[in-house]
Amino acid sequence: MNKELEHQFVTNLEKHQNIAHKICRIYTNDQDSHNDLFQEITIQLWKAYPKFRGESKFSTWMYRVALNTAITLYRKKKRNIKTQDYDTVHFKIKAEEYDDEAERHLKIMYDAIKQLNDIDKALVFLYLEDKNYAEISYTLGITEVNARVKMNRVKTKLKNIINP
């Protein structure tokens, strides 16, 4: 019984691991912290898995648990993430696809996201993942109206960081 559950869980997670990796990219700055967060997310998902009874899609549930883990962990450590530490390898952009100007601009954007707080990061992440407000509100456990308001604030914050 347990074996079967294990197999089910690992298979699902292997298939959807991109979600966790992308969260790690938003919340961490180097490969070591990326791996740590990924492992913590895996453990939290596994702990919560018995309660996941397939009412929603695995991926929907995973967004919720994984983001919560990242937010909680980030709060516990209260790390001040310095933009200088930001590892450019993480967002390597192939040279032939972008001209220098566009590349530079993207880097500034990613840097700006790194400076946001834990909840704002989650909002930007879900926005980048092309989630609609209903999905965002479900994942973060806030109302749809609240999600909209918060998102607009984050956009303003980002603008202010980029063009101070």
Stretch of 41-49, 55-63, 71-79, 140-148 contacting other proteins, by CB under 8 A: 41-49
Task: Tell the residue number behind the tokens 């983001």, with chain if given.
Answer: 67
Exposed/middle/buried for residue 16 (C-beta within 10 Å: 0-12, 13-18, 19+): middle
Does position 149 interact with other proteins (CB under 8 A)? The reply is no
Q: Running DSSP on this structure, what letter comes out for residue 31?
A: H
> What residues have CB less than 8 Å from 16, skipping those under 6 apart?
58, 59, 62
Does position 130 interact with other proteins (CB under 8 A)? The reply is yes
Q: Which of 110, 144, 146, 161 binds other proteins (CB under 8 A)?
A: 110
Does position 13 interact with other proteins (CB under 8 A)? The reply is yes
Cα–Cα distance measured from residue 88 to residue 153, given in angstroms and rounded to the nearest whole number: 27
Stretch of 39-47, 54-62, 78-86, 134-142 contacting other proteins, by CB under 8 A: 39-47
Nearer to other proteins, 102 or 145 (CB): 102
